[in-house]
Amino acid sequence: LHGPGPQGAAPAEAALAERAGRPVIVVANAGTVNTVDFDDLRAIAALRERYDFWLHVDGAFGAFAALSPRYAALVDGLDAADSVCVDLHKWLNVPYDAAVQFTRRRDLQVAVFHNASPYLGPPTGEPEFLHLTPENSRRLRALPAWFSLMAYGRAGHREIVERDVALARRLGAGVEALPGLRLLAPVRLNVVCFTLAADPSEERVARLARAVAESGEAFVTPTVHDGVPGLRAAFSNWRTTEADTDRVLRVLAASV
């Protein structure tokens, strides 16, 4: 586990001081896409003692760390957020494009998205998605999510999270052991971000990604981390096993 970054909440504080007196939304990260980095949510929330702002947390997949006592410290302070978004179509393994949003101010949500039309009726105070989101007609995305929660429960989803993290770490260790590759960041949770050890130009990295895809064994997506082209392997599937990571490693070893 890593602690607060070397600068802690200082950059957020400087930005808030600059905007004092103006409406501000702070969007904190609970799991960035490239390297699953976490902001120090507790420290950012504490800034509300001196500055007035809305704290939103992007926990698209990072919020799932809360399921495991091993990783829950990464989302310490999440409970202090004004709003939180969590994707369900990622680590909950339900169909694209399910997600949940939590907010402390449903009244504001209704004020913004209220679908004022006589035939739809006024908001009743019950959760009615047509008064809470920009969508009017929508599928019942909640149903597969509910099934999955009922079928696997907290323990089942914790097992998926912990297995995926263990697999990401296994792949990360394997990547480090390959002479032609290096990690672009430590494997903090479920994503392995890596690149070529020598001359990781965009073209050479893209060539590696193509070779992996053409093997028919695996598919890794390109990214850029801190200006360096790289690849990322994100683990969230409920069926992934060690045999899969070892397959990916074999392909990488053969392609690099």
Ligand X SMILES: *Cc1c(COP(=O)(O)O)cnc(C)c1O
39: contact with ligand X by CB under 6 A: no
Stretch binding ligand X (CB under 6 A), from 58-66, 76-84, 113-121, 173-181: 58-66
Give helix then strand counts, H and E, for the chain.
6, 8
Torsion of CA 16, 28, 86, 242, to 10 degrees: 180
Q: Which of residues 95-154 bind ligand X (CB under 6 A)?
A: 97, 99
**CA nearest neighbour of 92 among 160, 42, 45:** 160
31: contact with ligand X by CB under 6 A: yes
Between 30 and 212, name the residue whose CB sits nearer to ligand X: 30
Stretch binding ligand X (CB under 6 A), from 57-65, 70-78, 151-159, 170-178: 57-65
Stretch binding ligand X (CB under 6 A), from 55-63, 130-138, 155-163, 241-249: 55-63
Name the residue with the smallest CB distance to ligand X.
60
Between 60 and 193, name the residue whose CB sits nearer to ligand X: 60
**CA nearest neighbour of 55 among 93, 83, 88:** 83
CB of 214 to ligand X, least distance (A): 26
87: contact with ligand X by CB under 6 A: yes
Q: How far apart are CA 91 and CA 78, in angstroms?
A: 18
Q: Which of 60, 145, 165, 187 binds ligand X (CB under 6 A)?
A: 60
CB of 253 to ligand X, least distance (A): 28
CB of 204 to ligand X, least distance (A): 26
Between 99 and 256, name the residue whose CB sits nearer to ligand X: 99
CB of 103 to ligand X, least distance (A): 16
The strand order across the sheet containing 191-196 reads 181-183, 191-196, 228-234, 221-225
Cβ neighbour number for residue 175 with a 10 Å cutoff:
26
61: contact with ligand X by CB under 6 A: yes
CA distances for 233 relative to 93, 96, 218, angstroms: 16, 19, 10
Angle at 30 between CA 41 and CA 175, to 5 degrees: 130
